[in-house]
Amino acid sequence: MKHSTLAAALLAWALSVMAGPASDTEIVYKAMTEVGCYSQVPTFKDLGKYTYQSSGYCQHQCVPQGYPVMALYDGGHCLCGKKLPPKSTKTDKSNCDKSCDGWPDEYCGGSDAYTVILTGLEDDVPTMDESSATTDGVSKTLTTQAGKTIWVTAEATQQSEEEDDGPNTAGIAAGVVVGILGLVGILAGAFFFYKRQKRKRAEEEYRRAQDINSFVAAAKTPPSEDSRWDGEYMAQRRFSNGSIADDEDFSRRILKVTNPDR
């Protein structure tokens, strides 16, 4: 680190006064100790990027949470851990070449490296086993199974534990989807059945109305004239045109005998 221990302590005190909670004053912050530059920090908790990041600020984030180790990354990230990273992940100090965003006089890791520092919370901090080393940033644990060496990722282990502790979320979701689709199918079938019955009733009503209209029209139509009826003759006929009895059928032309003297 470029600045002195006294400057770091003063900076930490200033930050605690400006940003720390009231209960923070009860915590005693001891001098920090830089351990070195590491390529990986497995299981460390990333607190995110801070615009004014520094070792003093990171210490005031990790110590209240009970972390004896912290790491600074990419100039602005603060990470907290319980143990020192595996020795195999230690790298050359030149890889931690990024100045802290909030205090340019010190380094806060690099683009692919972490400056690891003891927060002063514990004097004797253990180191992680080599089996906790990571590959591509994913924490792995070395296990032996049936004579084979297997690296198990921490994420996979956590996911497996979560699946064992609770119900199968995917199965429940699939069951809900199938149930909803079935309900939609039943409702759609009922709707189309109702529409079909309604249309059928409308067609029956229409045919019934047509039959009634045809019947009424037939009732109003006058009967056809008898072909035996001679209208012209009946218009010219006088009561005394003949001597045939009145109850005869006058709708036909018949032979008439008249008295010429009359």
**143: β partners:** 150
Share of the chain above pLDDT 90, in %: 39
Half-sphere exposure of residue 119, counting CA atoms within 13 Å on the CB side?
28
CA 12 to chain centre: 44
Which tokens in the block code for residue 104? 């340019």
Q: Is the C-alpha dihedral spanning 240, 242, 248, 249 positive or negative?
A: negative
pLDDT digits (tens, 9 = 90+) for 52-110: 999 999 999 999 999 999 999 999 999 999 999 999 999 999 999 999 999 999 999 99
Whether residue 115 has pLDDT greater than 70: yes
User: Please, are residues 98 and 108 in contact by the beta-carbon 8 Å criterion?
Assistant: yes
By mean pLDDT, which of 30-34, 46-50, 58-62, 240-244 is the weakest? Answer: 240-244
User: Please, are residues 215 and 231 in contact by the beta-carbon 8 Å criterion?
Assistant: no
Say what the pTM is: 0.46
Which tokens in the block code for residue 86? 């595996």
Whole-number average pLDDT of the chain? 75
**72: β partners:** 78, 115
pLDDT, position 25: 56
pLDDT, position 17: 47
Which tokens in the block code for residue 189? 């079938």
User: Please, are residues 121 and 68 in contact by the beta-carbon 8 Å criterion?
Assistant: yes
pLDDT, position 155: 46
pLDDT digits (tens, 9 = 90+) for 170-203: 778 888 888 898 888 898 888 888 888 888 888 8
By mean pLDDT, which of 4-13, 138-147, 208-217, 223-232 is the weakest? Answer: 138-147
In Å, what is the CA distance from 10 to each residue of 3, 14, 124, 243, 250?
Answer: 11, 6, 24, 156, 144
Mean pLDDT for the stretch of residues 156-166: 45
* Cα end-to-end span (Å), the chain: 164
Confidence of residue 213 (pLDDT cuts 50, 70, 90): confident
pLDDT, position 48: 92
Question: How far apart are the C-alpha atoms of 136 and 226, rounded to whole Å?
Answer: 112
Residue 106 φ/ψ, nearest 5 degrees: -130, 165
Confidence of residue 159 (pLDDT cuts 50, 70, 90): very low
